[in-house]
Structure 1
Amino acid sequence: MNAIKEYFGDIDIYLFDQLLKGRFDHCKTILDVGCGGGRNLVYFLKNEFDVYGIDPDPSAIRRAQDLATSLNPNLSSGQFINGVAENLPYSKDYFDLVICSAVLHFAKDQNHFEQMLSSIWNVLKPGGYLFTRLASSIGIEHLIKDKGNGTWLLPDGSVRYLVDEEALLKYTSTLNGMLFEPVKTTNVQNLRCMTTWCLQKM
């Protein structure tokens, strides 16, 4: 178990599932939107993928840079920068894989959510993969309270922008994307639900 953790780090279990399936083996350029300290990037850094990360928290970026330097000294520290999902400073169609874990549910409203999603989709290559994890209302519809603008009070006390399956399938179609995994939702003791939404850009 320790060897697995050393090789993959504290990776999101659903992203780990995709790696075990070999889904991203042929990807070269990777972007983690809301990368934090880089917990989802250990495998990619160790295997010399061309890895980029962006996060609004300067201290998180410093941690991610330190991690990248320790695991892949050839990688430029300038590939980890401060910034926000709705205004990604990268070229159109640049990345083979974009990871966006626990970010989109911090949208202030539907417009903000769609700005983030559009910005992320813009930098993804045709044929590329988008891996997202976000809070949803799926399975706890009767337990959440509407706070307006698409945000909801969850039983755990947090306020999040929530999507449902209908919205995710609508966005999949609007973006001209394709699900490469079924939409999967984890219910955490009826306190919150986290949904995995995995798209390939057509």
Structure 2
Amino acid sequence: MHWKTINKLIGNIDLYWLDFILKGNLEDDAKILDAGCGEGRNLFYCMQTGYDVFGVDQNPEAIMFLKLMAKQFNVTDIDARFQVMDLAKLRFPDESFDVIINSAVLHFAESQTHFMQMLSECVRVLKPDGKLFMRTMADKGLDNSGENNIADNKKRFLLNENLLQHFYNIYGLEFLEIPKYVVVGNVRTMGTFAFKKIKNG
């Protein structure tokens, strides 16, 4: 199959999100929230194949672009589905979604408290047995650690092992698979995590 044909099917999807999909983690009737969706690269395939999708981001221009893309796929209720929203204050009821995408967003947290607020909101709106796909910068494989470290000459929050275990325990989550860590250019490490929300967590 030609690469242009593949691109037409899946767009510029995050490869780790694609891996999550290919492992059968999306039920046909899954209701999906991309928390920090940007222009919707990780929703392209889901919209094209008819999933029940929602996306929120703090960038109004990104949401505007996503709405235009959604119209091409005849997505209904676009204004309700795609909104400018603060991830630390999601305006959705508890247990609304089967799957939540949070890709390359949490490392923009201003502090550990802010990080936990955003993550807590994602878990709150996730249904019992729901799945959380999370990709964020971490302190593995590099000499720096802790919060608000410098990476790519910009301020970033780095997830560490203690914090990972902390929210894993308090939010009633379990790993769907072993976390993956990739060192990029010896300047940052990206961690990829797949969780399931335990029913009585």
**TM-score normalised by L of structure 1:** 0.92
Which residue is 1:91 aligned to? 93
Residues 139 and 145, structure 2, Cα contact 8 Å, conserved in 1: no
Note if contact 1:136-1:162 (Cα within 8 Å) is conserved in structure 2.
Answer: yes
Q: Is contact 1:94-1:124 (8 Å) kept?
A: yes
Distance 1:105 1:53 in 2: 19
Match of residue 124 from structure 1: 126
Q: Which runs of 5+ in 1 are unaligned?
A: none
Alignment partner, residue 189 of structure 1? 185
Equivalent residue letter for 1:127: D
Query: What secondary structure sits across from 2:131 in the alignment?
Result: strand
Shift of 1:100: 0.7
| Contact preservation (8 Å) 1:27, 1:97 | no
Q: Which residue identity lines up with residue 189 of structure 2 in the other structure?
A: C
Query: Which residue matches 2:109?
Result: 107
Q: Tell me what 2:51 maps to.
A: 49
Q: Which residue identity is paired with 1:99?
A: I
Distance in 1, Cα, partners of 2:27 & 2:145: 41
SS of the residue corresponding to residue 20 of structure 2 reads: helix
Q: Match for residue 160 of structure 1?
A: 156
1:96-152 CA-to-partner distances (Å, cap 9, x unmatched) read: 000011111111111111110111110000010100110111111x1x376xxx211
List structure 1 runs of 4+ shifted beyond 3 angstroms: none
User: Where does the alignment leave 5 or more consecutive residues of structure 2 unmatched?
Assistant: none
Q: What is the rounded CA distance, in whole Å, between the counterparts of 2:21 and 2:96 in structure 1?
A: 21
Mapped contact 1:55–1:81 kept (Cα < 8 A): yes
**Contact 1:36–1:57 at 8 Å: present in 2 too?**
yes
Q: What's the counterpart of residue 40 of structure 1?
A: 42
Instruction: Quote the RMSD (CA, aligned, Å).
Output: 1.3
Amino acid at match of 1:41: L
For the pair 1:77 / 2:74, whether they are aligned, the reply is: no
Matched AA of 1:177: L
Q: Distance in 2 between matches of 1:62 and 1:14?
A: 25
Shift of 1:187: 0.5
Query: Would you say the 8 A contact 1:50–1:75 is kept in 2?
Result: no
Quote the offset at 1:159 in angstroms: 1.2
Letter in 1 for 2:165: L
How far apart are the structure 2 equivalents of 1:171 and 1:160? Answer: 19
1:66-95 C-alpha deviation (Å, 9 max, x unpaired):
111112x14211110001110000010010
Structure 2 CA distance for aligned equivalents of residues 6 and 125 of structure 1: 31
- Checking the alignment, whether the CA contact within 8 Å between 1:34 and 1:85 is kept in structure 2 is yes
Q: Is the 8 A contact 1:145 1:153 kept in 2?
A: no
Cα displacement (A) at 1:174: 1.4
Name the % identity: 35
The TM-score with structure 2 as length reference comes to 0.93
Q: Deviations over 1:157-184 (max 9, x none)?
A: 1210111233212211211101002110
2:11–2:44: 8 Å Cα contact kept in structure 1? yes
Count of residues paired in the alignment: 195
Is 1:61 aligned to 2:66, yes or no? no
